Amino acid sequence: MLKFAKTSLVAIAITATSLAASDILVTVNGKNITKQDAEVFVSATAPNAHFSQLSKSQQDMIKERLIEKVLFMQLAQEEGIDKKPEFAMNMEKIKEELLVNMWMKAQMDNAVVSDSEAKEFYDKNTEKFIQEDSAHARHILLKTEKEAQDIINEIKNLKDDALKAKFIELAKTKSADPAGSNGGDLGTFTKEQMVPEFSKAVWELEAGKMTMKPVKTQFGYHIIYLEEKSDAKPMSYEEVKDKIIASLKQQQFNNKITEVVKELKGKAKIVDLSNESNTTK
């Protein structure tokens, strides 16, 4: 279900780290492309995926995109793009953005929420912390309905552990989705987190069973195996503690930024040149 776009190359920042030889995937005219570079690329294009979990062909595609990025960068340097006035001007803009972002991060890092504050918020808002109906499932994604039905016919007479083991094996070797490398495991999800056709099929299954017909979605044809389903239930404080603290920190951060902005504007001389009267604030 992942799609990697060439256009994302311009958005990838390569981080500098001390490298072991095993971290280097390929070198291009002496420049290293590392596993960390690949992870950054994958994270930017598919946030829940990891380079190490991708198939060999997908990893090769990522390496090709990174090789192209280095070659384009080296060509741009050879043609003197970094010497142009526009480059220097844009670098200044990047510095300004980085400066503001780092200041913002420092303010967020300084936000402090105690356990007692978080627990008090939980106790006053227990009705907000309900775990929705959820399911844990695996799938095998195929390009055609025939491919999917052939696999279903191959394993439909298996039961229990034998069915699960064979399903995992086929997911690893046949699935077109990166989750195939992990036996097709999609983890736990709610109905709203999947496309309607997929969710409908999942919630009609019994635990330990698979779909007897391919399920068509925008991604292709799925064979789905249901691990388990859970009904909606209240969530304990420990389950939501981290989210509550993060939310209260965000609220504290937002309040501080609002106060700082108000204070800074009150002290600053701001001339609105877009206004015909050039009003000074």
Query: What is the rounded average pLDDT of the residues 219-240?
Result: 94
Are residue 71 and residue 142 in the same domain, yes or no? no
Residue 264 lies in a domain: no
pLDDT for the residue 131: 84
pLDDT confidence of residue 252: 96
Please give the tally of structural domains in the chain.
2
In a domain, 246, yes or no: no
d(CA 249, CA 108): 7
Give the residue numbers spanning the domain of 178.
131-232
pLDDT, mean of residues 193-207: 96
For residue 240, being part of any structural domain is answered with no
**pLDDT for residue 22 is more than 70:** no
Residue 270 lies in a domain: no
pLDDT tens digit string along 95-114? Answer: 999 999 999 999 999 999 99
Single pTM value for the model: 0.51
The mean of the pLDDT values for the chain is: 89
CATH of residue 139's domain is: 3.10.50.40
- Is 135 within a domain? yes
Question: To the nearest 10°, the Cα dihedral for 256, 260, 266, 267?
Answer: 160
The DSSP secondary-structure symbol of 169 reads H
Q: Are residues 224 and 141 in the same domain?
A: yes
The pLDDT-based confidence of 272 (bands split at 50, 70, 90) is confident
Is it the case that residue 16 has pLDDT exceeding 80? no
Cβ atoms of 26 and 67 closer than 8 Å: yes
- Are 161 and 222 in the same domain? yes
